[in-house]
A and B are shown apart, each in its own frame.
Chain A
Amino acid sequence: MNNYQLMITADDKQVVLERILQVTRYRGFLINGINAKVNTGTNIGTIELLVRSERPIELLVDQINKLIDIKEVKIDNHAS
Chain B
Amino acid sequence: MTNEKKLTGAGLLFNVLEQHGVEHVFGYPGGAIMPIYDALYDSKVEHFLCRHEQGAAFSAVGYARASGKVGVCFATSGPGATNLITGLADALADSIPIVAITGQVATAAMGSDAFQEIDIFGLSLACTKHSFQVTDINDLEKVLHQAFAIALEGRQGPVLVDIPKDIQITEVNRCLDKLVNLENKVKLPPANVGSAIALLNQAKQPILYVGGGVGMANAIDELRDFATTTGLPSVSTLKGLGAIDPEDENYLGMLGMHGTKAANIAVQECDLLIAVGARFDDRVTGKLNEFAPHAKVIHFDIDTSEINKRRIADASILGDLKVNLPALAIPLAIKPWQAVCHEMNNNFAWDYNHPGELIFAPAVLKEISDKMPKNSCVTTDVGQHQMWAAQHMVFDDPSNFLTSAGMGTMGFGIPAAVGAQVSRPTDCIIAVSGDGSFMMNVQELSTIKRFQLPVKIVLIDNAKLGMVRQWQDLFFNGRLSETDLADNPDFIMLANAFDIKAKMITKKSQVSAAIEEMLEHDGPYLLQVKIDAQENVWPLVPPNTANDKMMEST
A: residues with CB less than 8 A from B are 14-15, 18-19, 22, 26, 56, 58-59, 62-63, 65-68
Instruction: Give the distance in Å from the alpha carbon of A18 to the alpha carbon of B123 in the complex.
Output: 11
Residue in A closest to B135 when the chains form the complex, CB atoms: A14
Question: Once the chains are docked, how many angstroms separate the CA of A56 from the CA of B122?
Answer: 28
Q: A19-B125, A22-B126 are in contact. List 9 more A-B contacts (CB 8 A).
A: A14-B121, A14-B132, A14-B133, A15-B121, A18-B125, A22-B125, A58-B308, A65-B305, A68-B150
Taking CB atoms, residues of chain B closer than 8 Å to A58 are: 308
Bound complex: CA A40 to CA B129 (Å)? 27
Residues of B within 8 A of A67 (CB): 130
Measured CB to CB, the residues of B under 8 A from A are: 121-122, 125-126, 129-130, 132-133, 150, 185, 303-305, 307-309
Q: Which residue of A lies closest to B187 (CB)?
A: A65
Q: Are B305 and A15 in contact (CB under 8 A)?
A: no
Contact check, B122 vs A15: say whether CB atoms are below 8 A apart: yes
- Cα-based distance from A22 to B126 in the complex (angstroms): 7
Q: For B305, give its contact among A14, A22, A56, A62 (CB under 8 Å).
A: A62
Cβ-defined contact, A62 with B304, below 8 A: yes
Contact of B126 among A26, A56, A62, A66 (CB under 8 A): A26
Contacts of A62 in B (CB 8 A): 304-305, 307, 309
The 5 tightest CB contacts between A and B, nearest first, are: A62-B305, A68-B130, A22-B125, A62-B304, A63-B305
CB < 8 Å: which of B121, B132, B303, B309 contacts A59? B309
List the A side residues contacting B121 at CB < 8 Å.
Answer: 14-15
Residue of chain A at shortest CB distance from B159: A68
Whose C-beta in chain B lies nearest to the C-beta of A64? B305
The residue of chain A having its C-beta at the shortest distance from the C-beta of B155 within the complex is A66
B125 A15 Cβ-Cβ under 8 A: yes
**Which residues of B have CB within 8 Å of A18?**
122, 125
* A80 → B minimal CB distance (Å): 20
Task: Give the distance in Å from the alpha carbon of A1 to the alpha carbon of B126 in the complex.
Answer: 25
Tell me the complex Cα distance, A62–B122, Å. 22
Q: How far is the CA of A58 from the CA of B306 in the complex (A)?
A: 11
Q: How far is the CA of A63 from the CA of B305 in the complex (A)?
A: 6
Contact assessment for B122 and A68 in the assembled complex, using a CB-CB cutoff below 8 Å: no
Nearest Cβ on chain B to A72's Cβ, whole angstroms: 10
Question: What residues of chain A lie closer than 8 Å to B305, measured between beta carbons?
Answer: 59, 62-63, 65-66
List A contacts of B307 (CB < 8 A).
62
Asked if residues A65 and B125 are in contact (CB atoms below 8 Å), the reply is no
Q: List the A side residues contacting B309 at CB < 8 Å.
A: 59, 62
Report which residue of A14, A58, A65, A68 has the largest number of chain B beta carbons within 10 angstroms of its beta carbon: A68
Q: How far is the CB of A18 from chain B (nearest CB, A)?
A: 6
How far apart sit A14 and B303, CA to CA, in the bound complex (Å)? Answer: 24
A selection of 15 A-B contacts at a CB cut-off of 8 Å is A15-B121, A15-B122, A18-B122, A26-B126, A58-B308, A59-B305, A62-B304, A63-B305, A65-B304, A65-B305, A66-B303, A66-B304, A66-B305, A68-B129, A68-B150
A31 and B125 CA atoms in complex are apart in Å by 18
The smallest C-beta distance from B440 to any residue of chain A, in angstroms, reads 26
Quick one: closest A residue to B157, CB to CB?
A66
Give the chain B neighbours of A65 by CB distance below 8 A. 304-305
When distances are taken between beta carbons in the complex, the residues of chain A under 8 Å from B133 are 14
**Within the complex, what minimum Cβ distance (angstroms) separates A8 from chain B?**
15
A59 to B305, CA, bound (A): 7
For A22, what are the chain B residues with a Cβ–Cβ distance below 8 Å? Answer: 125-126
Taking each of A59, A65, A66, A67, which has the highest tally of chain B beta carbons within 10 Å of its own beta carbon? A66
Q: Which residue of B lies closest to A56 (CB)?
A: B308
Q: When chains A and B are docked, how far (Å) is the Cα of A6 from the Cα of B125?
A: 21
In Å, the complex CA distance between A63 and B125 comes to 13
